[in-house]
Amino acid sequence: MKAKKKGISSLLLQATVKFTLGVSLVALLVFLPAGSLSFFNGWLLMGVLFVPMFLAGLVMTFKNPDLLRSRLDAKEKQKEQDLVVKLSGLMFLAGFVVAGLGYRFGWYILPKWVAIGGAVVFLIAYVLYAEVLKENTYLSRTIQVQDNQKVIDTGMYGIVRHPMYSATLVLFLSMPIVLGSIYSLLIFLLYPFIIAKRIKSEEEFLEKELDGYIEYKQKVKYRLIPFIW
């Protein structure tokens, strides 16, 4: 019991540190270029991004610590996938900075109601993301096959093969709308191409390493978006 409590305390500390760093980094990338803390869209993004993340982290800490532990492990072992992660990081950096600069220099900012609508879409996508995590406890942030891992083909996995990426596609494309920046949205439109590259490599890996995945591909035809791809 003491070892379990110690493990949870250590995990909670690790999650808290990463969460704090994430909040600090996004705040710097958005508000520093904006040159002001009065950037409403910036606060709106911080709220919809980090409040659900904080609550989800608490739930996973006590309900499924192994899943949280795997989600915190962001070090990609495959060289090609490491490049995909770095490209995604550059996309976020550029997109957030451009949105902040747009506020500072008075570039066109989407109406407030559009940004709020984007926030609603973001939260809906976050619920879908949470549902995917609930359906597939093997999910990690890196491409790997865990001990006793099985193919999941129920729920959203019966519609598309990568529902987590489907959810993140909506999440990430709604972020620049929440920030009210058309220019940032143009940058984030790179994400579908980035994630397509990751999916292609991931499926090649899973075909070799995960029993039943080839049969699953034959059963569920679409990767990311039903009836499209």
Contact in structure between 122 and 178 (CB atoms under 8 Å): yes
Length of the chain: 229
Residues 73-79 have a mean pLDDT of 58
The total number of structural domains that make up the chain: 1
Q: Which two tokens stand for residue 20?
A: 């704090």
74-83, 95-104, 153-162, 191-200: least confidently modelled range = 74-83
Judge whether 8 lies within some domain. yes
pTM flag (> 0.85): no
> What is the share, in percent, of the chain residues with pLDDT greater than 70?
84
**Residues of the domain holding 12:** 2-219
Give me the mean pLDDT over the 46-60 stretch: 87
Give the phi and the psi of residue 181 in degrees, each rounded to 5.
Answer: -115, 115
Please indicate, yes or no, if residue 18 is contained in any of the structural domains. Answer: yes
Is the model's pLDDT at 143 over the cut of 60? no
What mean pLDDT do residues 150-160 have?
83
* Average confidence (pLDDT) over 195-216: 84
Q: Tokens standing for 17?
A: 């540190």
Q: 162 near 153, Cβ under 8 Å? A: no
**C-alpha to C-alpha distances, 105 to 44, 110, 130, nearest whole angstrom:** 20, 14, 37
Distance from C-alpha of 30 to C-alpha of 97, rounded to nearest angstrom:
6
Kindly state the average pLDDT of the residues 25-47.
96
Query: Is residue 227 domain-resident?
Result: no
Within 8 A by CB and 6+ apart from 43, the residues are: none
More reliable by pLDDT, 204 or 35: 35
CATH number at residue 23: 1.20.120.1630
Q: Is the pLDDT of residue 26 over 80?
A: yes
List all residues 6 or more positions away from 209 whose beta carbon is below 8 Å from its beta carbon: 145
Residue 126 lies in a domain: yes
DSSP annotation of 156 reads G
Read off the pLDDT band of 65 (50, 70, 90).
confident
Report for 7-16, 124-133, 148-157: range of highest mean pLDDT: 124-133
**What pLDDT digit, counting tens, does each position of 37-51 carry?**
999 999 999 999 999
Q: Is residue 88 situated within a structural domain?
A: yes
Q: Is residue 200 part of a domain?
A: yes
Residue 228 lies in a domain: no
Is residue 225 domain-resident? no
